[in-house]
A and B are shown apart, each in its own frame.
Chain A
Amino acid sequence: MQEILSNLQQWQARGDETALATVTWTAGSTPRTIGAKMAINSRGEFVGSVSGGCVEGAVIDEARQVIRTGRPKLVSYGISDDMAWDVGLACGGSIRVFIEKVQS
């Protein structure tokens, strides 16, 4: 947590816009537990994780959009028939990730 927050502050200090993604809900077997966090900046750099690498790419894309619009977003990831070949969690669980812009 402390490391994620200090990254947000460092990025803001150098003029980047930033977002925070947090796992707010889980069901079944998931790689990271509730409260897992990832910080993202407008350059697409990130620290931390919300899964075992399964959905981080998608979260970065969502986060850059949240940074542009300023509107937070709650995104769900899990295995379903139509998602199995797209972005999902290989472990069979589901997660919800809240993505918000972080102002200095």
Chain B
Amino acid sequence: MWLKTVSENIAAKKIFAIATVVTGAHVGAKWVIYPDGATDGAPADADWNAQVITDAQALLAAERSETRTYGDAEIFIESILPPPRLIVVGGVHTAIPLSQYAKILGFHVTIVDGRGRFATRERFPHVDELIVEWPDDVIPRLQIDAMTYVVILTHDPKFDLPALKALSATKPRYIGAMGSRETRRQHMAELRAQGVPDEFLKTVYGPVGLDLGGRSPEETALAIIAQIIAVRHGHGGGHLQLD
């Protein structure tokens, strides 16, 4: 039954497509297609099977879902991708609401802090992963990819600088670094002096967040997660307004 297969695939964070026949002779048929072209539960006697696999592979690569027509059949092909990841460096106060918002939004959330007092289960019962280790030791092991968003909240050079240096060897979708304009300038200059390339430093969002004007940890966390959503969808983050 598809429900079991789909649930197991999601739990295993697999990339796959679900094909559902919504009109035509096979209406109601539903099966799973993997990026390598393997299928699970496809109708045996349908002449469009090979074309649906090709189309599903293209839609998966584009991270899109679409209904397509194959003769008398309309088939909804839905791309299922693993959730985006948020890695928060620094288990500080702002990290608590930030990780809560991220969980509501469907992110897989990891908190990293070398200080065992900050990164505790009592403070972060809701996160997926809690790592008590120095950020620059952990970052190379975190398999950071284009679905990963990283926020550095420590704004202390002894944590920030090594973390950013380690991140310069990875390719996340987003890096945000907390700190005032003056702190950010100092940290950037220091990293430049340490040989971290300018092209990388320019991609770091800092001071972090959209300009919402709030000052509390909860409001700051909202400005950060809002920036992440804007970056995810390629939007600037301004007001929606009639011209």
Contacts and interface: CB of A to CB of B under 8 A. Distances in A.
Contact of A9 (B7, B20, B27, B76): B7
Interface string A41-61: 000000000000000000000
B3 A98 contact: no
A1 interface: yes
B94 interface: no
B6 to A, nearest CB: 6
Interface in A1-47: 1-2, 5-6, 8-9, 22, 24-25, 34-35
B67 A104 contact: no
A6 B10 CA distance: 11
A72 interface: yes
Interface in A56-103: 71-72, 74, 96, 98, 100, 102-103
A100 B28 contact: yes
Contacts of B10: 1-2, 5
Contact of A98 (B6, B66, B76): B76
Contacts of B1: 103-104
A98 B22 contact: yes
Contacts of B65: 34-35
A98 B20 contact: yes
A87 B76 CA distance: 24
B80 interface: yes
Contacts of A6: 7
A74 B22 contact: yes
B6 A24 contact: no
B3 A24 contact: no
Given A6-B7, A34-B65, A35-B65, 6 more contacts: A1-B10, A1-B80, A22-B20, A35-B78, A98-B20, A98-B22
14 contacts: A1-B10, A2-B7, A5-B3, A5-B7, A8-B3, A22-B78, A24-B76, A25-B67, A71-B28, A72-B22, A72-B27, A74-B74, A102-B3, A104-B3
